Amino acid sequence: MAVDTAPTLSEIEEARGRLEGIARVTPVYGSETLSKLAGRDVCLKAENLQRTGSFKVRGAVSKIATLSKSERRAGVVAASAGNHGQAVAWAAREAGIKATIFMPQDAPMAKVEPTKNYGAKAELRGASFEEALAAALAYVESTGATFVHPYEDERVIAGQGTIGLEIVDQVPDVETVVIPVGGGGLASGISLALRAVKPGVRIVGVQAGLEGWTLADGIAVKSVGELTGRILEDNLDDLVSVSDEEICSAVVLLLERSKLVVEGAGAVGVAALLAGKAGGGQGRALALLSGGNIDPTMLISVMRHGLTLAGRFLVLRTRLHDRPGELIKLLKSVAQERANVVSVEHHREGMDVPVTESEVELTVAMRDEHHCSVLLESLRSLGYQVERLR
């Protein structure tokens, strides 16, 4: 049951004791690449390497460990976009109690299947988190099970706050901490811990720019909670938003340069730093990578889109005389610029082109944006009318 008071430092420390030997003390990595791009020293707290793939296991274990015998018999219920559900399922299994998890109907399978594999019953209800939450609360009302709220709960917030204690232990000279914000439980817990043990640190929350669907599905809630909202109002120095394009670029960089798989919600802190939105001058900054449970098919799409944004893929269209040898002539011209053709689409029928011509669309792997410009200019100098599509 949610409460109306924020956890104290002593309660966060008690949660840390409950988590000892259960949740991992996740590593902090430096990144030369991200530091150069952001113009400041950047390090990464890798909660994507936490058990169940996200920070959520901390709050779930912290809550479930304090249940009474009668509450344990009745079981637990959660509503989740994915990560919280996995965490509650795992924590319930470890505690030997039953769990039922309500998720939106379009929750990624990378989050639904593990929830089932941890032994929980997964119920897919509604198109949004809010609809799944309503269904979960109705189930609690009818069964008497204990609802484990993803963020509006003092013990859950205290569990997430243990990350703040770890950050101070691992990076004592940190000056700016950048945290994803969805419902606000993560940022609330960390900010409470940081304000208690390192009051001068700059704390920045990062939201996804919610204009319809977002890549950061893990933080795609309409607003922060009532309790967490009050905590964040008192403790955050700034609350900023990032676009899906910025998140996509961050996911690609983390995978390619840091070798870390991070979901959209987990990459928003890095996105904010790279976009210069975190503020705080040139001091050392830490971005929290809150989770790594990205659906594999989504990861493929993100990587292709991100590489295209970075000039690593080029899609172009041109026309050729419809006679033997013209296509190979074009491809040789592309090869001379050391570009690698990924796919070729050759259109004759159904196109608004002269009968003596055909249209060709090429997808080409490139080195960078400058390489794209060189290839396009080279083809135009050879007389090709080239249109860049992406």
Which strand (E) or helix (H) includes residue 56? helix 56-64
CA distance 298 to 380: 35
Q: What is the predicted pLDDT for the residue at 1?
A: 41
Read off the pLDDT of each residue in 210-223 and give the average, rounded to a whole number.
Answer: 75
How far is Cα 263 from Cα 269, in angstroms, rounded to an integer?
12
Reported as a single tens digit per residue, the pLDDT across 179-192 is 999 999 999 999 99
Q: What does the pLDDT average to over 69-81?
A: 92
CATH of domain 57-147: 3.40.50.1100
Express as a percent the part of the chain with pLDDT over 70.
96
Among residues 62, 188, 290, 358, the one annotated as catalytic is 290
Residues 28 and 44 sit within 8 Å (Cβ to Cβ): yes
Torsion angle (degrees, nearest 10) of CA 234, 238, 239, 243: -170
Joined tokens for residue 33: 């690449």
Higher pLDDT, 220 or 228: 228
If you average pLDDT over residues 25-41, what whole number do you get?
96
C-beta pairs of 369-375 under 8 Å, 24+ apart in sequence: 369/310, 369/311, 370/311, 371/311, 371/337, 371/338, 371/339, 372/311, 372/314, 374/337, 375/314, 375/334, 375/337, 375/339
What is the average per-residue pLDDT within 379-389?
A: 92
- Grade residue 308 by pLDDT with cuts at 50, 70 and 90: confident
pLDDT higher than threshold 80 for residue 347 = no
pLDDT of residue 346: 80
Residues in the chain: 390
CA dist 57 and 80 (Å) reads 13
Q: What pLDDT shows up at residue 212?
A: 61
CB atoms inside a 10 Å sphere around CB 335: 12
- Is 290 marked active-site? yes
The topology under which CATH files domain 9-54+153-306 is: Rossmann fold (3.40.50)
Mean pLDDT in residue range 71-82: 90
**Measured between alpha carbons, how far is residue 318 from residues 99, 330, 331, 346 in Å?**
57, 10, 12, 10
Q: Give the mean model confidence (pLDDT) for residues 312-319.
A: 91
Which residue, 23, 8, 117, 4, is CA-closest to 65? Answer: 23
CB within 8 A of 358, min separation 6: which ones? 319, 320, 322, 346, 347, 348, 351
CB neighbour list of residue 347: distance below 8 Å, 6 or more residues apart: 353, 358, 359, 360, 361
Tokens (6 digits) for 15? 């949660």
Architecture per CATH, domain 311-388, reads as: 2-Layer Sandwich (3.30)
At 129 the pLDDT is 75
Task: Enumerate the domain spans of the chain.
Answer: 9-54+153-306, 57-147, 311-388
pTM of this prediction?
0.86
pLDDT of residue 160: 98
- Residue 341 CA, chain-centre distance (Å), reads 31
- Describe the strand order of the beta sheet including 176-180 as a list of residue ranges: 28-30, 42-46, 285-289, 176-180, 202-208, 238-242
**Based on the number of CB atoms within 10 Å of its own CB, is 72 exposed (0-12), middle (13-18) or buried (19 or more)?**
middle
- Which residue of the set 45, 56, 111, 198 is catalytic? 56
| 29, 60, 243, 258, 349 from 34: Cα distances, Å | 11, 32, 18, 9, 48
pLDDT value for 2? 47
Q: Do 9-54+153-306 and 311-388 share a fold?
A: no
Helix (H, G, I), strand (E, B) or coil at 221: coil
What is the DSSP pairing of strand 340-347 with strand 357-365?
Answer: antiparallel
98 is catalytic: no
Q: For residue 151, what is the DSSP state?
A: S
